[in-house]
Amino acid sequence: MSYRPDPHLLPSDITPREYYYDRRRFMQMAAGATAASLLPAPLWAGDKLAAGKSQAYTLSEEQTPYKDVAGYNNFYEFGTGKDDPAQNAHSLKTRPWTVTIEGEVHKPKTWDIDELLKLAAMEERVYRLRCVEAWSMVVPWIGYPLAELIKQAEPTGNAKFVEFISLHDPMQMPGQRSAVLEWPYNEGLRMDEAMHPLTLLTFGLYGEMLPNQNGAPIRVVVPWKYGFKSAKSIVKIRFTEQQPITSWMKAGPSEYGFYSNVNPEVDHPRWTQAKERRIGDFLKRPTLPFNGYADEVAGLYTGMDLKTYF
């Protein structure tokens, strides 16, 4: 069956517009928080995940409350509404779970999730999260650098990119029964991006295992890029010589580029990226280049025109 994206379900159509950020929005968020308190406990209270607090990767900014981090999500596998993942993700079974490493590597392997949990020391890192839809959060993630897993795979000299493929199971993920995206969801990074110390292989947040709606049991977090670059519920990591065509590139090639670095000077075709709204705030704040991580990552793009390679 051929894939035909549904233009009525692109992010610009389901994302709150400017007028949404008035008293109505705060009333809706309050209603959502009330509804969240009635959700089944497994979606809101996960198993504890021990981790040391990083001194190098932290922020002085106020962290977004757990209920908002776990209750306001984009995870189209469970629906296109912001509260759909928290309501529907109870159907996801995160045990057993394996992640297959394949492609241009010397050591392909299928890892059990419990093996991955023990691969390297866990640490809590407080990162900004910036959505392409111009809202943001501050989240204390738990994990270790993706580079730790990549080193185990021993990429070949042909490995230029890393592709992440999420679970495809419409029985567990009811949003996959729609054609909002071509399934399974896939994302990708250039090898130097994937190896960067900021790129986190993530298993938890707020001292607990990831809630299902936040990408359990394993996701990546790439804090200088828009949130959709951080693939969730990963089952396969593939090393390739050619740049992968990611899910959002397929759905909107003129709107969602491969790099998708946070850039206040490059607007989405239908909304500005110059400012953002931190969840819980009323007023907007300026968007920071590379989401505030320019000192760490700007050098990866020396000589590139970031308006062309958006």
Annotated binding site: 73, 76-77, 131, 166, 214, 219, 230-232
Q: Are 247 and 186 in contact (CB under 8 A)?
A: yes
Nearest to 203 by CA among 30, 43, 20, 46: 46
Q: Are 258 and 188 in contact (CB under 8 A)?
A: yes
* Token pair for 255: 């709107």
Q: Sign of the CA dihedral 190, 192, 196, 202?
A: positive
| DSSP state string for 29-42 | HHHHHHHHTTS-GG
Cα gap 173→110, rounded to integer Å: 22
Cα gap 70→163, rounded to integer Å: 26
Q: Environment class of residue 5 by beta-carbon count within 10 Å: exposed (0-12), middle (13-18) or buried (19+)?
A: middle
Cα gap 263→261, rounded to integer Å: 6
Cα gap 244→11, rounded to integer Å: 21
Which of helix, strand or coil describes residue 228? helix
Binding residues for Mo-molybdopterin: 73, 76-77, 131, 166, 214, 219, 230-232
Order of strands, sheet of 234-240, starting from the edge strand that comes earlier in the sequence: 109-112, 98-103, 234-240, 161-166, 186-190
